[in-house]
Structure 1
Amino acid sequence: MAMLLSACSEQAEAPVETDPPPLATMAPSAAPSASPTPIVPAFTAPLTGKGVQGPIDARPYLVMINNHPKARPQSGLGSADLLYEVLAEGEVTRILAVFQSQPLTGAIGPVRSIRPYFIDLAKSQDAIMIHAGGSPDGYAQLSKEKLNHLDEITNAGSYFWRDKSRKAPHNLYTNLEKLAAGIDRKGFETSQQGTVRSYPFIQGDSAQPAGSAATTLDVTFLLKSYKVSYRYDSGAQRFMRFINDEPHTDLNDGKQLAADNVVVLEAPHRVLDDAGRRSVDLSEGGKAMLFQRGKAREVQWKRSAVDDPIRLYDGATEAALYPGQTHFLIIPDKPGLGERLQFG
């Protein structure tokens, strides 16, 4: 786990600034100099595209984060490489936070339980799963496939803690140090085997995305009383996240969550039982909308195999992401994007 902790602590090297030449050395008739070529980092993080000081092949952690109103604001979400948001039981969503390359010394949580389609997303990133409990089908899959996971209830309780300022089950936390210790104790493989999961990223800050203007977007998963919104901040060149029109913040630093890329995709959902547990098909692909730098365009999401992450395609070409954090919002295909997504 030293590799993961090292990767999390490393920062991109800043470009070296140089003073311009004295005016006396410049010929009066000289044409204006061209804009400097952007410095491309020698190494970039696979899931964010941000510069790092060395290659990263560490397996990420995928942490199941409680998104009940009593669990907000959560801790650590602003430091994740990726966020997935998807329905759990009934009308409640869960946020799955993927940690691989960004530094974080604070808490992560509140942590909640696992489901088979959460496991599917973890396998797509070759991630070690972090959770507290699970559905019967989720536990059965973990056992049958012998998947690497830390569960506060069954195998890793000492690597979590309860915060007395909140009531259970909205008060269970962990951090990267405890997770590293638990994974080391379990002897889990910490490096990705074979090809490291990554995305294509846009190089050059001046590059503009295709699509139509879209500075606001609102997503309703099921309940009209629960709305996720993003508002584009042109200064930061990021989409700021809101829940029910209130800023969604990270408890660790009080900062509002923001995304450099927002993906809203539809997938088949099926309710399995009276408790509202679901099956979500994340293998077949389908329609999606990609929001970047105040623009929106329709794309297709696809997965080539169970160990390949969700990818976005514009025709035959994989759509590139802007470096930074990406949010994937997964909604039911019925009624789908036409009813559940509003933007403009």
Structure 2
Amino acid sequence: MRGIIKKLSELTINQVLIIGGAIAFIFIVAFFVWWQKGGGIEINNNGDSDTISNLPKSLITGLGCEGAENRPIAVMLASDPITRPLSGISQADIVFEMPVTPSGLTRIMAVYQCESPDEIGSVRSAREDFIPLAASLGTVFAHWGGETEALEKLDGHIIDNIDAMRYETVYFYRKSGIPQPHNGFTDFERLEKATKDLKYDQKNTFTGYPRSNQDSPKNILNLADTISINYEPPFNISWLYKKDENTYARIRGGSPETDKNNGVQALASVVIVMKTTSRPISKDYQSVIAIGKGNADIYQNGVRISGQWSKDPSRLDSKLFFYDTNGKEIEFTPGKIWVEIVTE
């Protein structure tokens, strides 16, 4: 021991620096190897794995659930500050959000299959550009009226839909103490009953998204702990990656997006930023292009994947695809999906 101490004391400053640098280099290399393999920690944030594995898997989330074979239901939701917190927002399997006015107001379409919220709302009007997205998943589309072009198509039964303007006291209701038009609500049980009363097909026709439990390759250039969606305030969004749960937590207008039903913050395993274009129709409406193709950034497992989105404009019910830069359909990590549609 004394001999080792004596040898160490005889080292020059340059030798100490060289040895220290070599140790630091080894540590950095070891860290990136560890990170590339997902940190050496296997996370299961989807509840009781034994129970889930015995259930059929949802073609939307890739997770086992009792309603996996049911036809999903899409609901138009408000985004206005007065409506926050929204009821049922944390329980949706996939959510689409886009700006619907030239001033930047956004609207949300939440799709439910695996979970059955006791309350969903505030339910708002349909916008035409959400119809192809609802059709792409084979959903029944629930809404409270709509803008002229959307209502013309929905009244013509372009897709199965449930309009609260027709069924306000049957499948929807208004809550006291909340100003109109923000006081319209429903619940999953009422909507499910409506699909049966209206004799809509109960079969799920969505072909699904490919899924993989493998971690995404990581490097310094694609690591992404924060996602910023620059909608006009107070509709601006950010997502924060929670490595211990391998999910993204949603923040809206600087505050966590929580669910009024349960106080739970909205989380997603996959966040997609879908880039497209828009054109103003009037001071109150704008048209957002949700068919054709464009660029997209897909965030999962703490990394960003650059790619493209594509939806065949010749078929209303065509699937919305997401491809990587090699033209291969991206395999999503199992879990909930949020699609943030931004206009350029």
Q: TM-score, normalised by structure 2?
A: 0.79
Q: In structure 1, what is the equivalent of residue 208 of structure 2?
A: 198
Q: In structure 2, what is the equivalent of residue 316 of structure 1?
A: 327
- Would you tell me which structure has more helix in proportion to its own residues? 2
* Distance of aligned partners of 1:307 and 1:42 in 2 relative to their CA distance in 1, 3 Å threshold: same
1:43 positional shift: 3.0
Q: How far apart are the structure 2 equivalents of 1:232 and 1:329?
A: 16
Paired residue type of 1:295: V
Paired residue type of 1:309: K
* Distance of aligned partners of 1:203 and 1:40 in 2 relative to their CA distance in 1, 3 Å threshold: farther
Does structure 1 residue 326 correspond to structure 2 residue 329? no
Does structure 1 residue 219 correspond to structure 2 residue 212? no
Q: Conserved in 1, the CA contact under 8 Å of 2:125 and 2:147?
A: yes
1:296 is matched with which residue: 299, 304, 320?
Answer: 304
Q: How far apart are the structure 2 equivalents of 1:41 and 1:282?
A: 36
Secondary structure of residue in 1 paired with 2:120: coil
Secondary structure of residue in 1 paired with 2:265: coil
More displaced stretch, 131-140 vs 155-164: 155-164
Identity %: 28
Q: How many residues align?
A: 293
1:224 positional shift: 4.7
1:244 is matched with which residue: 243, 248, 253?
Answer: 253
2:109 is matched with which residue: 78, 87, 96?
Answer: 96
- Structure 1, residues 287-313: CA drift from partner, whole Å, max 9, x if none? 111111211121111123431232210
Paired residue type of 2:183: N
2:266 is matched with which residue: 250, 254, 257?
Answer: 257
Q: TM-score, normalised by structure 1?
A: 0.79
Q: Which runs of 5+ in 2 are unaligned?
A: 1-45
2:149 is matched with which residue: 137, 151, 161?
Answer: 137
1:40 positional shift: 6.3
Q: How far apart are the structure 2 equivalents of 1:183 and 1:118?
A: 19
Q: Which runs of 5+ in 1 are unaligned?
A: 1-10, 17-38, 335-344
Paired residue type of 2:316: V
Larger Cα-atom Rg: 2
Q: In structure 1, what is the equivalent of residue 196 of structure 2?
A: 184
Q: How far apart are the structure 1 equivalents of 2:56 and 2:290?
A: 30
* Distance of aligned partners of 1:146 and 1:243 in 2 relative to their CA distance in 1, 3 Å threshold: closer
Q: In structure 2, what is the equivalent of residue 160 of structure 1?
A: 172
Secondary structure of residue in 2 paired with 1:121: helix
* Distance of aligned partners of 1:237 and 1:14 in 2 relative to their CA distance in 1, 3 Å threshold: closer
Q: How far apart are the structure 2 equivalents of 1:14 and 1:261?
A: 20
Secondary structure of residue in 2 paired with 1:52: coil
Q: In structure 2, what is the equivalent of residue 51 of structure 1?
A: 64
